[in-house]
Amino acid sequence: WRPAVVLDHKGFGDRESFDAAVVRQLRDDQVDLVVLAGFMRIVTSTLIQAFRNRIINIHPSLLPAFPGIDAQRRALDAGVRIAGCTVHIVDEGVDSGAILGQAAVPVLRSDDVASLSARILEAEHLLLPAVVRAIAEQKLDLDAARPALNHDLDAAPEAMLSSVRTEGAA
């Protein structure tokens, strides 16, 4: 086991060859779960197929609303009153995999992209470890058709909201 390995995508000719190298490294290190947090690259089917239902991502919106980039700006532009984050299984689509957990935060009248993003990030820092813990403790069946229905994280969003400032909510 190694504490860290760096694979620079710039050293590879294309995404497929980079993802193939990632797969080799993950298999060499006997990785059971791949967590994409801040990994701003779309992964190829090479990686997805090698770790089917074993790659999770955190996204700064309440999916299926606002997949892809600029989710916080699009939430503000749409005038939503509740935003949040989602942990989901990575599939071949963009932010389209099965939802494992979500946390909601209020959108405040005074919000801009930076302030909303910061509040969502606080929720992400609570939600992602809770979902990973549920997976490690086998409370989530990642192979189920709707895995989020099989866990007891239902109380987590309420607990998260209590730790995220809500004063001035619209």
Q: Which two tokens stand for residue 82?
A: 């509740």
Pairing outcome for strands 34-36 and 55-59: parallel
57 φ/ψ angles, rounded to the nearest 5 degrees:
-135, 150
- Tens of pLDDT along the chain (170 residues)? 567 888 888 999 999 999 999 999 999 999 999 999 988 888 999 999 999 999 999 999 999 999 999 999 999 999 999 999 999 999 999 999 999 999 999 999 999 999 999 999 999 999 999 999 989 988 888 887 777 655 555 544 444 443 344 444 44
Confirm whether 4 is domain-assigned.
no
Tell me which residue range forms the domain holding 136: 9-163
Residue 67, exposed/middle/buried by CB under 10 A (0-12, 13-18, 19+)? middle
pLDDT at position 16, please?
92
Q: What is the largest CA-CA distance in the chain?
A: 50
pTM: 0.85
Confirm whether 3 is domain-assigned.
no
Confirm whether 168 is domain-assigned.
no
Confirm whether 2 is domain-assigned.
no
Residue reference for tokens 């400032």: 165
Confirm whether 170 is domain-assigned.
no
pLDDT at position 150, please?
54
pLDDT at position 149, please?
55
Q: How many domains does the chain have?
A: 1
Q: Which of 59, 88, 125, 151 is catalytic?
A: 59
pLDDT at position 41, please?
83
pLDDT at position 1, please?
58
Confirm whether 87 is domain-assigned.
yes
Q: Which two tokens stand for residue 5?
A: 């390995």
pLDDT at position 106, please?
95
Query: Can 59 be counted among the known catalytic residues?
Result: yes
pLDDT at position 7, please?
87
Confirm whether 115 is domain-assigned.
yes
Confirm whether 57 is domain-assigned.
yes
Cα 100 to Cα 86: distance, rounded to the nearest angstrom: 7
CATH number at residue 132: 3.40.50.170
